Structures are given as structure tokens and as C-alpha cells.
Amino acid sequence: MATVEAKKVPAPEGPDGGWGWVLVGALFVCNSLVFGLMRSSGIFFVEFVQYFDESAQSISWISSIGLATQQFISPLGSALSNAYETRVVVMTGGCLAGLGLICASQATSLVHLYLTMGVISGLGWGLVFTPMLATVMAHFTRRRTLALGISLSSVGLSSFAFNPLFQLLVEKYTWRGAILILGGLSLNLVPCGALIRPRRRSEAPVEQNPTSSQRCPSWFQRVSSHLELPLLLERPYVTYVMGITFINVGYFVPYFHLVAHGRQAGFSQYQAAFVMSAAGMSDILGRVVSGWFSDLRLLRLIHVLSLWVMLAGIFIILLPVSSLNGSYPALMVTSLLYGFCSGALTSVVFAVVPNIVGAERTMGALGLLMLIESVAGLLGTPLSGYLKDVTGNYVASFIVAGTFPILGIAIITTLPHYFSCQDPPPPQGRPVKDAGGGIRSEMEQMNSRTSTKAV
């Protein structure tokens, strides 16, 4: 009788909530203390230029190194999470992020800031973001884009709150005291990582006395499987990553230079900071609305992404144009529109990845994506600073930055089945052959755990 009743219950599509909503809250806080802090670092940009008496291009390398390190280390965070415990990896990253900022508060030269605020904090951010993101995605199926939109909306909220807060901290405690306080705040990443539940590992027979010739291929195969290196040989994934890389060149430029552009356009420091805060506020709305709209499945996710990226690129170009005549309302409206579109595209970028590589390879795919696009994060902001030094203003910087997302979408249109109205069948990923301890990806474990409960 129990067997008959069990057959009447339809099998679930996969995990869709539960403890996942707690992790959404944890990712919400993590994004505030990672990308929200990065976006608000434009407040320190002006202070660093004055204190160290360096060019805008030299100062821009601080934020670029931090962003590039975060993205470059992401595959390491993914591999360590696949091989060991995600919660330990994230908690370690939180300690490094706080340590880097605390040390940066004592910097006496730009090199010190490159190593502390750039490398050490960037390393911590890389160990936090991708594992946390993949863990949240593992707990959702039907509402995945909405969950990502809610958790990533904290970037806009923190941008709205952090810019005037950082300005106040700088005025009261100087930039050293402000960065020291941010280092203490960043340590809150540690308890966020502690909320991740430990994984259960399956037992696997251990081969006795393997020969050296067997050990080397086995070790290489294991590292390759954790990093998902075979994805680099698959055309759809490579095409998508290259498109996102071009988008990333111009995406962060307004968040690092919009405040400085506002100051140069003749607005007060609080007016310039509020422009960035307004963009962050509309960013929040854009992420939630985009997540809700995407989960309605009225359009394919790849088409939704293309729409938001195209609009974001156009509004980046219009940012300096809108303030040429000194009109503060025009700059504010353009900033609001850019903030909405830039926030709307973020969750969709990650939600598209399982459709391209398969759910069980998402952790490694996200890590490799971050690694490859780190080149764009390293070059985008210094290129913008160089153009400012050459031209004397930020007009060329924003125009060039806005063309890169449009070029990125042009690359993405070459994906197989891009112009089809329906998604192609999801790719069937290969099961990971585990030679030493039953290690599987977070996504695979969550789905299999849910299936076991349903049976």
C-alpha cells in the first residue's frame, strides 16, 4: 500500500529551497562585503590620488588587481570545494579578505596597497564568492534565477549604503581608519561560510600499493576533474566565456570612475557619491526583477542576458554625455538606468552556465569563467584611467568601456542554437570518477540527496 502511494507522488525536479534560503541570506551578506566593497572603492580612489600623488592609471591598478585576483583564484576555490569542504574554504577566504584590508590600512606606498588590498584581499574574495554561489545554485532548480537575483541584490544595496558611509568614515577617521573598519567588517564572511552544511562522503575502496606510473595519471585526472579542465575544449562553453570576458572589460568601469567623473564635472563630493548610490539602488531592483522575469521563462535566459547587456553598454556610453552640459538630473537618470541594467544582467550570467555545461559541472565551470574573465578585470579599469590621463576627462573612458559589452553580446550570438526560440536539450555531463574518497561536486550531491529523499 505504501508502495502504491509513493508512486502517486510525482518526482520533484530537484532541490528548490529549504536550507537554501538561509544560504541565500549568507550569500547576500558575502556579496555586500565583496562586490559591494569593490564598487564603493571609488571613494578611496580620490583619496589615494591626493595622498600618494600618483596618476589615475597607477591608482586604478589597486582595484583591478583585487578584482583580477578574485577572479583568477576562483578555480582554486572551486577545486578546493570539490576536493574538501566548501565551508572551510569560504571561512578561510573570509579571514584573508579581512586581513588584507587591515594590513592595507597601514600601507605607506602603492606597492603595499597592490599586495594587501589587491592580492591578499582578492585571494580571500576568490575563495568566498564562487563556492558560495555554486552552493546556493545547488539548493534551487525552478527558482534558481530568482534566488540568485535576491542574493546578488545586496551588491546594489551595499553600493547605495557604502558610498556615503565610506565618505563619512574617510572624513572622520581618514582613509586609513576607514579601511581598518572595513577590514573588521569583512571578517563577517567567516560566519557566513560556517552556515554551509558539511558534506557526507561516500566510502570508496582504496587501491593498495599503487605503482608510481598509476599514481601520476590518477593525480592529474583528479585535479583535472576538480577544475573541470575538459570544458576548455568544448566550443559552447569557450564561446560563452569569451563573450562574458568582453562584457567584463567595461562592466566595472563606472563603479570605479563614476564618482571621480562626477567630481570633475563640477558636482560636490556628496553629489558625486550619491550618483553612485542611486545606481546601486536601481541595481537592487534590477536584480530582483530580472530574476523574477527570467524564471517566468517567457524568453530564453540567453536572450534575456543579451537584452540587459546591450542596454547596459548603451547607458555606459551615455553616462559622460548626459553630464556634458553640467546637468545633474540627466546624469542621475542615466545612472539609474545603467544601475538597473547592470544589476539585471548579473544573476542571468550565472544562471545560464548550467544550461551550457550541465548542472553537475557548474562549480568548476564558474571557477574557470572567473579565471578567464580576470584578464578583463585586470585591464578594464587601468585602460579607463589611461584614457583619462591622455584626454584629461572621462568621456573617452566611458565610451570605450560601453563598446565592450556590445562586442561581448556579438560573440555570444555565435553560440549554437542561439537564435532558436527554445532551449536545446541540456548537456549530459560525465560522472566524476572518484579514486580516493567519493568526492563529487556540490551540485551533484544536492541533486542526488534530494532524489534519495523522494524515493
pLDDT for 120 equals 93
CA dihedral 347, 68, 82, 344 (to 10 degrees): 0
pLDDT for 208 equals 47
pLDDT for 308 equals 94
Taken in order of first residue, the domains within the chain and their CATH numbers are: 16-197 (1.20.1250.20), 233-418 (1.20.1250.20)
With both helix axes pointing from N to C terminus, report the angle between 269-295 and 42-52 in degrees, rounded to the nearest 10. 150
Q: Mean pLDDT in runs of 10 for the chain (455 residues)?
A: 41 60 90 82 79 78 81 81 85 93 89 90 90 84 81 76 83 90 92 82 46 57 73 90 91 81 80 81 86 86 93 92 79 91 88 84 81 74 83 87 93 91 68 38 42 36
- The pTM for the full model equals 0.70
pLDDT for 311 equals 95
pLDDT for 5 equals 40
Model confidence pLDDT, tens digit, residues 411-430: 999 998 898 888 777 665 55
